[in-house]
A = this chain, B = another copy of it.
Amino acid sequence: MESLKSEFPIFANAEKEGRTFIYFDSASSTQKPQSVIDAITEYYGGYYANVGRGLYWPATQASNEYAKARDKVRNFVGAKSAKEVIFTSGTTDAINKVANAVLLPTLEADDQVLVSEMEHHSNFVPWQQACIQKGADLKVIPLTTAHTIDLAALKATLNSKVKFVAITAVSNTLGTKNDIKIIVRLAHAVGALVLVDASQLTLSERIDVQKLDCDFLTFSAHKLFGPTGIGILYGKQALLERAIPFSYGGGMVALVNQDETTFADLPAKHEAGTPNIAGAIGLGAAIDFVESIGVAQIAKHNAALRTYTVHLLNQIEGVNLLAEDAGDASILSFTMEGIHPHDIATFLAEKGIAVRAGHHCTQPLLKSMGLPATVRLSFSVYNDQREIEQLKTALEEIKSFFG
């Protein structure tokens, strides 16, 4: 696959201003194609209205586009029904909502909740705090030497006290991928519900929630070429129906009386207030963009770039690649002997090369690896081999500067 740089206006704009811009930070957030930007401006400039109740043409059109976006998501994750697709403001918001509305009301002291050592803080702290609040136990499943969830340890930990298992599909720090299907099967066998953090999975493989059989799955649009402020919670219909509303307000009620309120049906029940309509429409356009290329194609492109990077960086002495063998990933973390990740990132930034240095919101993982920080590269459809060669040259320069 050719690089799709030309579809992303930021690169041409940077060039026009005489700035180099090589973007290796897509795991934090992807750049936006023109089609996504256009979808948003067309809404704001062409048919802007609130959704839900207006009888005039922009309201109808906005409501239609909002519904279409939901249906694109339904198709994208393979959900049975659009009722199973709840718009949130992002992954973090979605996870907090499940923790509050699904787990907390039934969690009791001595119950257990499982997460893994590789979780992003957003899929760690909400469960930890819920456990603290209720006196329940948070169990952190360790990783194998290949940096994936240790299934033997998971099996050994699962028992009937485990109410919930929250795991990421792909490590945002290392790129390694867990076997979600098996984890779900094991968890269901003891009656636990499973939430899958798919933030880094959406561009790595075609998601099929029915095959995965997970109870909840979440991701953010902004990592998928979509806008900020919008994310998805997929949930099995029966579970979403059973849960108390995620929040309360306009749009999610049926009848409001002084003493009680009855609630609307799914998905409205869990979406109080004016939604992020532009966000949903932008996400719809982002999914169209992804589908027009194909998730498998994107994943292949990214993995090839990672392989090439592994090849080149291994030629630099003192570079230490982490989870080097995670072959089909789009993320690659490394350190360099004697040079701190932040110094590396600052040097690269001065050359217009964007990477991330730090703990990547995975302090428990870094602690387990005995590292204070890494440099993280993450690849996407606008990257190419030449950029990786430039990265290599820059790293060699850094080495000799600090050497």
Interface residues of A in 1-40 (CB under 8 A from B): 9-10, 13, 19, 21, 25, 28-29, 31-32, 34, 36-37, 40
One of A178-186, A223-231, A305-313, A321-329 at the interface: A223-231
Q: Is A261 an interface residue (CB 8 A)?
A: yes
Measured CA separation A250–B273 after assembly (Å): 24
Task: Find out whether the CB atom of A228 lies under 8 angstroms from the CB atom of B9.
Answer: no
Say yes or no for A398: interface residue by CB 8 A criterion: no
Contact among B95, B124, B228, B342 for A276, CB-based, below 8 A: B228
Decide if A370 is an interface residue (CB 8 Å cutoff): no
Q: Are B50 and A138 in contact (CB under 8 A)?
A: no
Q: Is the CB of B126 within 8 A of A247?
A: yes
A258 on the B face (CB < 8 A): yes
Q: Sort chain A's interface into a size bin.
A: 35 or more
The reply to whether A92 and B249 contact each other, CB–CB distance below 8 Å, is: yes
Q: Within the complex, which residue of B31, B45, B228, B247 is in contact with A37, where a contact is CB–CB below 8 Å?
A: B45
Q: Is A59 an interface residue (CB 8 A)?
A: yes
Give the chain B neighbours of A159 by CB distance below 8 A.
Answer: none
A279 touches B (CB below 8 Å) = yes
Contact B256 A10 (CB under 8 A): no
Selected contact of A55 from candidates B48, B140, B276, B349, CB within 8 Å: B349
Contacts of A138 in B (CB 8 A): 258-259
Pairwise interchain contact B349-A57, C-beta atoms closer than 8 A = yes
Query: A140 to B93, Cβ gap below 8 A?
Result: no
Q: Which chain B residues lie closer than 8 Å to A401 at the CB level?
A: none
* Complex interface residues of chain A between 196 and 223 (CB less than 8 A to chain B): 220, 222
Which B residues lie within 8 Å of A49 (CB)? 25, 28-29, 354
Asked if A253 lies at the interface with its beta carbon under 8 angstroms from chain B, I say: yes
Nearest Cβ distance between residue A171 and chain B, in whole angstroms? 14
Which of A257-295 touch B at CB < 8 Å?
257-261, 272-279
At the interface, yes or no: A70 with Cβ under 8 Å from chain B? no
Are A37 and B28 CB-contacts (below 8 A) given A278-B228, A354-B49? Answer: no
Tell me which residues across on chain B come within 8 A of A157, comparing CB atoms.
Answer: none
Bound complex: CA A13 to CA B128 (Å): 51
Q: Establish whether residues B58 and A45, one from each chain, have CB atoms under 8 Å apart when the complex forms.
A: no
Segment at the B interface, from A143-151, A235-243, A358-366, A384-392:
A358-366
Q: Which chain B positions have C-beta within 8 A of A91?
A: 273
Query: Is the pair B41, A37 in contact by a Cβ cutoff of 8 Å?
Result: yes
In the bound complex, what is the Cα–Cα distance between A365 and B36 (angstroms)?
Answer: 41
Contacts of A64 in B (CB 8 A): none
Min CB–CB distance A54 → chain B (angstroms): 6
Residues of A in contact with B (beta carbons under 8 Å apart): 9-10, 13, 19, 21, 25, 28-29, 31-32, 34, 36-37, 40-41, 44-50, 53-59, 89-93, 95-96, 100, 120-126, 128-129, 132, 138, 140, 220, 222, 227-230, 247-251, 253, 255-261, 272-279, 342, 345-346, 348-349, 352-358, 361, 363-364
Shortest 5 CB-CB contacts between residues of A and residues of B: A92-B273, A229-B276, A122-B249, A92-B249, A56-B354
8 residue pairs from A and B, CB less than 8 Å apart:
A10-B45, A13-B45, A29-B274, A41-B41, A89-B229, A120-B249, A128-B258, A138-B259
